[in-house]
Amino acid sequence: MGVRELARLAQVVAQDVSSWESGLRVPRMEQLGVLLGALRVAPVERERLVELARNAREPNWLERTVPGVSSATATYVEYERAATGMVDWEPFLVPGFLQAPGYAEAILSAHRLPPRLIEREVAVRLRRREVLTRREPLVLKLFLGEEALRRPIAEPAVMTEQLLLLVRAAQPRTSSIRVVPADAGYHPGLAGHFVIFDFAHLPSVVHIEHLRGSAHLYDGDHVAAFRAAAETLADLALSERESLALIQGVITGLE
User: What does the pLDDT read at residue 55?
Assistant: 59
Note the pLDDT tens digit of each residue in 188-229.
999 999 999 998 877 888 999 887 778 888 888 999 999 999
Taking the C-alpha atoms of residue 151 and residue 169, their distance in angstroms, rounded to an integer, is: 20
Q: How far apart are CA 201 and CA 210, in angstroms?
A: 29
**In CATH, what number does 72-254 get?**
3.30.870
Residue 150 CB neighbours (<10 A):
14
Residue 171 predicted with pLDDT over 90? no
pLDDT-based confidence at 64, cuts 50/70/90?
very low
Contact call for residues 125 and 104 (beta carbons, < 8 A): yes
Read off the pLDDT of each residue in 79-93 and give the average, rounded to a whole number: 94
Q: Which residue has the higher pLDDT, 254 or 47?
A: 254
| In the predicted structure, residue 70 carries a pLDDT above the cut 90 | no
pLDDT of residue 63: 47
pLDDT of residue 68: 56
Q: Quick one: pLDDT at residue 65?
A: 45
pLDDT band at 77 (very low <50, low <70, confident <90, very high): confident
Residues 1-58, CATH architecture:
Orthogonal Bundle (1.10)
- Cα atoms in the Cβ-side hemisphere of radius 13 Å centred on 96: 18
Q: Where are the domains of the chain?
A: 1-58, 72-254
pLDDT tens digits, 12-49: 667 776 766 666 666 765 566 667 767 777 766 766 67
The rounded mean pLDDT for the chain is: 84
